[in-house]
Amino acid sequence: CRFLVGRIEKRSSETSAWQHVGRAFHFDDDWSTLRFVDQVPAVGCLVPPEFRSSQNVSSLTLNQPWPMPLRWQQQRYHKNNAFVAEKVDIPANAPAQRWEMPTTLTDQESFAFQLILSSTTGDIFLATPRYTVKPHFAELTCLDQATAIRCNGQPVKGSNIVLQPGTNHLEVEVPAGQKLRFEIGSHRFELDDTWEQKGDAHHKTLFLDQTVLWPNWKAQALHLCPDQGQQLLFWPNGLPEGDLANGYKLFLEVPDGCELRGASGYYKRQKVELKEIGLIDGYRHYELLFPGVKKYTEATLGQLHRWCAVLLMPTTRWNGNGELRFHAATPDLKAQEIPQCVPLVAMPPVNGRQPKKILFQLWTGWLRTMDDISLRDQIYASYIPAGITEAGAPAIAGLTAFNIINLENWNLDLKNWLARGEDYRQLQMNGKRHSYYPCSGRLLYTPEGRETLVQAAKVWQEKRQVDHCNLDFEGSVWGWCLGCFCPLCLKQFADAHQLKASPTPEQLKNNYEKEWTAWMNKKMADLAVLLQEGVKRARPDVVFSVYSAYQSEEFKRRYGIDWELLRGKIDLGMCGYGYDAKLLQATKQALAPTPMVSGIIIQPYQSKFATYPSFWSQAEILKHLLVGRVGLLLYEYHSMDGRSFYNLGEITRLAADYEELILKGERVEAEFPLLKGPKGDNYQALRHAGQTMLMLMNRSRQPTAYQLDATAPALAGKSLRDYYTGQTGVMAGNIASGGIRVLLLE
Ligand SMILES: [Zn+2]
């Protein structure tokens, strides 16, 4: 039986197949033969090589040990019938881990490539199709005649020099006084005094794709709106070769009309000096000096404090063309990177407005720990034109400051309480005491514990001075910050459930999972209420909210949240990020009349992912705003560019102009039937105080047409005006992909 199963999830841009396919899963060339066996190796992730010059690496992650030896092979079939096979033998019972296999490519001819995982006796567990691959080599051209050129020790024939990613040693010999020019893409350089002379040869170290800019704007383009600052994040890791005694430099070039407004590290870990060099050939040149980077560190993308933020400001003088260029170099310029380029795309100006009551909350990661306070506040200020109303504390005038509260030891100060004795700390399921999580039973269900918690929350608020305090709670009932299995906690549970003896954790799992889940959900709600009491004791008008998963039986267990227990007890509930109408409604109903805000997310939000960032479409922003109607949570700043800022502005302006209608409007789309157009929640109409607004949202990748039923009685004698264009008579029309139409009944 030949077999394939695939999945298309448009919202997250996913098209995946159970078996690797050569073209697409509708073509049966690559369908696999289905063979039934007891067990197969747990392959987590298979990453093919990048197919660039020199060394490439493919990797395979095994999620579990496998009892038999495995053979992982890669095969290359070249045009001249040459066949290259490489393999990695994975021993039986090897621990779960990532395995790497190098591939060295020396020429740019295309070839067929296949990866296979099998037993050593030849049973195939996984095989990709034979992909046709054209390697991508970066070539440096020498424009003049040289006596000899060597790259990485190898003589170069002709004038094209293939560079490998990372370090390249270039060596040239020319008659004295002769000019020697090089070109790669639009970048040119020549033999000059930054080359080191040894005997007859001149040496230079060149780097290719060395500097990391995150997120990966380079993969496509960076979108900029005039006067809307754009953050760029670089990893100042130094250079693997060259003299770094005086630090190292990053050179940036932006088209005339764009400016760099500052650069900064975080947590006082990274000193950086920004200097403008001047305008050269239509590009403004800048230099960033990192005086403290004295040696190269392998890219450690998780170490957030090592980042350097740069604020790029496209002014209204920018003509909308050009690219962002950046390259690293040693201060003596003897070792230099080939400039990397990011295409820039000009967007219309951001035209948002802050509503008075509806909140647009932007999460900003570690922005508040930025060293350069003035740069930090310029970034905060850049949120206001988009209509964003609150951001991670400390914010600035015009923005509400919010911050998260939790039981981590850097957050709420429970040191003195925990120091009272071992019994005050959480006993985890594995029988070990947690180093700083408290015993939740003692903290929540003894008078001294409750007063300690309330007091700690009061001190927290006095220190942080926030307008909005958020408890971000996403923890399993079997662990995290509240899951304590000490004798006191187990006895409290037993007493509350009239059990004669305290159950063991195993008995809880096997016999009382439902009761334990409800018990832990209640603990979570009690924690929220006490934290709220504390922060409000310091300042009564602080907004106290909880962020967690949606209302569902599964999430009660997995995230420890039952929103019904928070109804009427907190100011606001927040959850994200998908749009599952049923789960959203269930959450809203569980909390009502307490208001609820849903959230939207941009991928990637973690720096370990180098994918090109997504953005928020107008349809996505408006649709999520209409769930709770009191606001929107935006996660998070680092991956935003002009696309997200512009689209947010369009929706915040609408929300500011029609705030009461959005907050209080009654759903009336049934009175305005569509003959064709968006379905379900993608079409909503609201009416309040004599105003009626029809909102059509297109979340698909294609433009879509809509047409209202002109015979509907509610439309008799009325006309429709487009909120954005002012156009009237818009009973039918088109909605762009990701776009919206907002029609006002007049
Ligand atoms: Zn306990």
CA 492 to ligand 1 centroid distance, Å: 9
Q: Is the pLDDT of residue 620 over 90?
A: yes
Please check the confidence at residue 22 and state whether its pLDDT lies above 80.
no
In the chain, CATH 3.20.20.80 covers 412-575
Q: Ligand 1 center to residue 421 CA distance, Å?
A: 12
Q: How far is the CA of 500 from the centre of ligand 1 (A)?
A: 19
- What is the average pLDDT value for the chain, to the nearest integer? 93
- CATH 1.10.10.10 applies to domain 665-745: no
pLDDT value for 300: 60
Ligand 1 midpoint to CA 409 (Å): 17
Q: Please tell me the distance between residue 489's alpha carbon and the centre of ligand 1 in angstroms.
A: 4
DSSP H helices, 467-546, are 487-496, 505-511, 513-538
Q: What pLDDT, in 10s, does the model give residues 411-436?
A: 999 999 999 999 999 999 999 999 99
Domain with CATH 2.60.40.1180 in the chain: 665-745
| pLDDT at site 299 | 64
Which pLDDT does position 304 carry in this prediction? Answer: 64
Instruction: Compute the distance from residue 424 Cα to the ligand 1 centre, in Å.
Output: 7
More confident residue, 632 or 17: 632
Weakest-pLDDT range from 5-19, 189-203, 224-238, 656-670: 5-19
Residue 569 CA to ligand 1 center (angstroms) comes to 25
- Judge whether 444 and 520 are in contact, CB under 8 Å: no
- Confidence label for 622 from pLDDT (cuts 50, 70 and 90): very high
- Going from the Cα of 485 to the center of ligand 1, the distance in angstroms, rounded, reads 6
Average of pLDDT values for 83-98? Answer: 91
- Taking residue 734's Cβ as centre, other Cβ atoms within 10 Å add up to 12
Task: Compute the distance from residue 471 Cα to the ligand 1 centre, in Å.
Answer: 21
Q: What is the pLDDT of residues 158-178, one digit of tens each?
A: 899 989 888 999 999 999 888
For domain 412-575, which architecture applies?
A: Alpha-Beta Barrel (3.20)
Q: Is the pLDDT of residue 451 over 90?
A: yes
User: ipTM of this predicted complex?
Assistant: 1.00
State the distance from the centre of ligand 1 to the C-alpha of 683, rounded, in angstroms: 50
CA of 546 to the centre of ligand 1 (A): 23
pLDDT level of residue 11 (50, 70, 90 thresholds): low
How confident is residue 10, by pLDDT bands cut at 50, 70 and 90? low
CB-count burial class (<10 Å; 0-12, 13-18, 19+) for 309 = buried
Query: How far, in Å, is the centroid of ligand 1 from the Cα of 658?
Result: 50
pLDDT above 80: residue 608: no
- Is the per-residue pLDDT at 305 higher than 70? no
The answer to whether 361 touches 631, Cβ cutoff 8 Å, is: yes
Q: How far is the CA of 451 from the centre of ligand 1 (A)?
A: 17
From residue 404, give the alpha-carbon distance in Å to each of 450, 466, 467, 523. 20, 10, 11, 19
Q: Which residue has the higher pLDDT, 296 or 25?
A: 296
Q: Which helix (H) or strand (E) holds 675?
A: strand 674-676
Strands 160-163 and 187-190: unpaired
Instruction: Using the mean position of ligand 1's atoms as its centre, give its distance from the Cα of residue 444 in Å.
Output: 10
Measured in Å, residue 552 CA sits from the centre of ligand 1 at 26
Q: Residue 508 Cα, ligand 1 centroid: separation in angstroms?
A: 15
Q: Which residue has the higher pLDDT, 736 or 102?
A: 736
Position 122 confidence tier, pLDDT thresholds 50, 70, 90: confident
In the reported structure, the alpha carbon of residue 602 is separated from the centroid of ligand 1 by a whole-number distance in angstroms of 38
**pLDDT score, position 727:** 96
CA of 10 to the centre of ligand 1 (A): 45
Ligand 1 centre to CA of 247 (Å) is: 51
Ligand 1 (single-atom ion) residues, CB below 5 Å:
439, 441, 484, 486, 489
What does each C-alpha distance from 6 to 17, 19, 30, 31, 33 come to in angstroms? Answer: 4, 8, 13, 11, 15
Domain with CATH 2.60.40.10 in the chain: 37-133
Residue written as token pair 């099998």: 118
Looking at residues 318-339, what average pLDDT do you find?
A: 95
Q: What is the DSSP letter of 28?
A: G
Query: Could you tell me the CA-to-CA distances from 155 to 64, 104, 173, 196, 326 in Å, in that order?
Result: 46, 18, 11, 18, 29
**Gap from CA of 537 to ligand 1 centroid (Å):** 27
Query: Does the structure show a pLDDT above 80 at 302?
Result: no
Whether the pLDDT of residue 314 is over 90: the answer is yes
- What CATH number labels 37-133? 2.60.40.10
**Residue 557 predicted with pLDDT over 70:** yes
Task: Give domain 223-346's CATH number out of 2.60.40, 1.20.1740, 3.30.370, 2.40.160.
Answer: 2.60.40
| 538 Cα: distance to centroid of ligand 1 (angstroms) | 28
What mean pLDDT do residues 672-681 have?
96
What is the CA(438)–ligand 1 centre distance, in A?
A: 8
Centre of ligand 1 to C-alpha 437, Å, is 10
pLDDT on residue 81: 85
For residue 30, pLDDT beyond 80: no
Structure confidence at residue 738 (pLDDT): 96
Measured in angstroms, how far is the CA atom of residue 484 from the centroid of ligand 1? 4
- Mean pLDDT over 203-222 rounds to 94
- For ligand 1, the distance from its centroid to the CA atom of residue 439, given in whole angstroms, is 4
> How far is ligand 1, taken at its centre, from the CA of residue 570, in Å?
25
Range 153-158, long-range pairs (CB < 8 A, 24+ positions): none
Q: Cα separation of 659 and 665, whole Å?
A: 10
